[in-house]
Amino acid sequence: MGKRPLILVSNDDGYKAQGINVLIDILAEFGDVIAVAPHTGRSGKGCAITSETPLKVTKVSERPGVEIYSCTGTPCDCVKLACHAITPRRPDLVVGGINHGDNSAVNAHYSGTMGVVFEGCMKDIPSIAFSHCSHSSEIDFTPTYPIIRNIVAEVLKRGLPKGSCLNVNFPNVTEYAGVRICRQAMGSWINEWEAHEHPRGGKWWWLTGEFQTNETDCDADRIALEHNFVTITPTKIDVTDYTLMEDMKNWNL
Amino acid sequence: MGKRPLILVSNDDGYKAQGINVLIDILAEFGDVIAVAPHTGRSGKGCAITSETPLKVTKVSERPGVEIYSCTGTPCDCVKLACHAITPRRPDLVVGGINHGDNSAVNAHYSGTMGVVFEGCMKDIPSIAFSHCSHSSEIDFTPTYPIIRNIVAEVLKRGLPKGSCLNVNFPNVTEYAGVRICRQAMGSWINEWEAHEHPRGGKWWWLTGEFQTNETDCDADRIALEHNFVTITPTKIDVTDYTLMEDMKNWNL
């Protein structure tokens, strides 16, 4: 691979998902692409890593400027293993997605797509996550193309501050109200479980739920999405609460 | 259960681990304790949640003021399921740990113990994670007791700001240099994988690695731990980079 930017791609829906394959095609316009993605869906894996079993990684396809690998690990594992054993040099950009399902609000913490990007960011590589509000496995991603191109071009040109990455979410519409720079919406999941009787006795619990928020302002990513904006949430890996840090100096500890 | 505080406990080492059982005993001095913890070790699971399989939860023991349950899910799942189906009312406090292994620096993102506490915090419940630098399954936790008691008493009295939780780490010594309020140390993992030949061919990769940091100041949790301080890192679930949010308004998007 030559002097074009080297772009590492991963996701949490697996290397066969429509979203990552669309993304690979767009990114190949900007540089050489290496995709290392889970062999199957790993949604909701957040920043999970695999320490108790070893992993396998297999090249599944190759064409000029694009190599695609399948990995038995989590999204974070994929980025870690790619950087250690697959990419010929440090990538210039790490990209996660396009996720089938949005990762706005506190869902950033549960998101495997954001796991990709947190991991890239922890390695001091500019990193961008793209997610789409539709959970369908077949989406018309065409309206996202020009926005993805703009964001990728800007990040390749400007870089990102050390310790920060981007969480981009697309509403499930074909005409966007615009692109909006947002903060992470706060809120909670409620009614999170459904009980089912197991055929051999006892209850089994399925995760489900509704997201509840008091946010109403389009500065909050979740709300802007509901108003058909494409949202970009600049995201930090430093989770220190500096205000509380000062306050606690008066505690009796 | 009566009018004492209701304390929900979980961890990522499983309900049988020494750390959680020590913690349950200490917390029982302060209130009624319900522990819902993974049935086996779930280290490094971060904020992962389980959406693709249903979960089972089983009561494993009960004594006055203490109930212990085993759950087949992740640490986050345990907190979610406990709040939905097990605790008789909203807990007054969520506590994770005591983890066998530290969760300072960027490791907060990979930590299942912090997954417990992020989840409690997302439910607007004051939440505290306790972790110990020793990975041994048999630790003399006695020196931690007075510190844990102080922190729990202060948090029960004062509460915590909405959206913030505490990440407490103990150095692996018996005499502490003091208790220090810290920020999350920045740094990266390097040399993260070991390749092994599989008996039936191909390479298998085991996660390993060393943590590399340029931090030198005891304000950074990892460094303070190395200087034998007990560290408390006030931690936020809002990961927005507000500075970058302002800067990006000048981008060409």
Classify residue A86 by its DSSP letter.
I
Q: Please name the residue ranges forming H helices in A2-111.
A: 18-27, 75-81
Query: Domain spanning B6-184+216-250 has what CATH number?
Result: 3.40.1210.10
Rounded to two decimals, the pTM is 0.95
Least trusted range by pLDDT, from A40-44, A120-124, B5-9, B235-239? A40-44
Work out the average pLDDT over A111-140. Answer: 95
Give the largest CA-CA distance in chain B: 63
User: Quick one: average pLDDT of B179-203?
Assistant: 92
Q: What is the 3-state secondary structure (H, E, C) of B167-193?
A: EEEECCCCCCCEEEECECCCCEEECCE
Q: Which of B106, B95, B185 is nearest to B148 (CA)?
A: B95
Write the pLDDT tens digit of every residue in B25-61.
999 999 999 999 999 988 899 999 999 999 999 999 9
CB distance from B51 to chain A under 8 Å? yes
Instruction: Using alpha carbons, list the distances in angstroms from residue B228 to A156, B146, B221.
Output: 42, 16, 11
Q: A128 vs A200, which has greater pLDDT?
A: A128
Enter the tokens of residue A239: 């989770």
Q: Which H/E stretch holds residue A155?
A: helix A145-158
Sorted by where each begins, the domain ranges of chain B are 6-184+216-250
Give me the pLDDT at residue B214, please. 94
The secondary structure element, H or E, covering residue B120 is: helix B112-122
SS3 B204: strand
What integer best gives the mean pLDDT of chain B?
A: 95
Residues 6+ apart with CB under 8 A from B36: B8, B9, B10, B57, B69, B71, B78, B79, B81, B82, B86
In this complex, the residue of B47, B164, B184 whose CB is nearest that of residue A238 is B184
* CA of B40 vs chain A CAs: smallest distance (Å): 12
Across the interface, whether the CB atoms of B43 and A50 are under 8 A apart is answered no
Which pLDDT value is given to residue A137? 79
Query: Cα B41 vs. chain centroid, distance in angstroms?
Result: 13
Instruction: For residue B1, name the pLDDT band (cuts at 50, 70, 90).
Output: very low
**CA angle, B26 as apex, B23 and B30 as ends, to 5°?**
125
Q: What is the mean pLDDT of residues B143-156?
A: 97
Specify whether the CB–CB gap between A75 and A115 falls below 8 A: yes
The pLDDT-based confidence of A66 (bands split at 50, 70, 90) is: very high
Nearest to A48 among B48, B51, B232 (CB): B48
Lowest mean pLDDT of B147-156, B196-205, B213-222, name the range. Answer: B196-205
Strand partners, B233: B167
Facing residue for B188 by CB, picked from A124, A195, A244: A124
- Res. A1 pLDDT band, cuts 50 70 90: very low
Q: Quote the pLDDT of residue A252.
A: 85
In this structure, chain A runs to a length of: 253
Q: Is the pLDDT of residue A141 over 70?
A: yes
